[in-house]
Amino acid sequence: MPASLRGTWDIISNVNFDGYMSALGISIYLRKIALRLKLRKVIEQQGDQYIIKTLSTFRNYAISFKIGQEFEEFTKGLDNGHIKSTVTWQGNKLMCEQIGEKKNRGWAHWVEGDKLHLELYCDGEVCKQVFKKNANDC
Ligand code: ECB
């Protein structure tokens, strides 16, 4: 069983977020705002059921899913896309495939030591984010 992703995690690095957002068709205006945000992930898990919240001072975003079960995702407040998403474990990585208008879209989460890693994929662009466990979260 891979390391638990559960907890509250605060971003410490964010590489090529702008490239990822550009691939999603986000306007320069929103990208400039988004690039300044200190993103937080709050991940809850009960068995195969997960909730992943992305929190910021500007907007929040949340998904809820069960491992291996396709769900309809509406990326409200992001690129406002309707996609079909499926999350599975591939080794120690929690991988999401997001089928829709955008090619090669998805993400991967994994834990290494006390860090949560995230890669966001869209149309050949890869954004790499790293989060550290929030000090108030045991
Ligand atoms: C929700 C905080 C970011 C708000 C940014 C606002 C405007 C920019 C519009 C789109 C930017 C594209 C993506 C935002 C980046 C992170 C949000 C969630 C990324 C994601 O798919 O996370 C997964 C994996 O943790 C779970 O939804």
Here the ipTM equals 0.98
- Mapped onto helix, strand or coil, the DSSP state of residue 131 is strand
What gap in Å lies between CA 2 and CA 24, rounded to an integer?
30
pLDDT digits (tens, 9 = 90+) for 16-55: 999 999 999 999 999 999 999 999 999 999 999 999 999 9
Distance between CA atoms of residues 13 and 62, nearest Å = 21
Give distance in angstroms: CA of 78 to centre of ligand 1: 6
| pLDDT < 70 stretches in the chain | 1-2, 138
Using CA positions, which residue lies closest to atom 17 of ligand 1? Answer: 54
Q: Whose CA is nearest to atom 13 of ligand 1?
A: 78
Neighbour tally for 70: CB within 10 Å? 13
User: Angle at Cα 59 formed by Cα 134 and Cα 45, nearest 5°?
Assistant: 45
What does the alpha-carbon distance between residue 112 and residue 23 come to, in Å, rounded to a whole number? Answer: 28
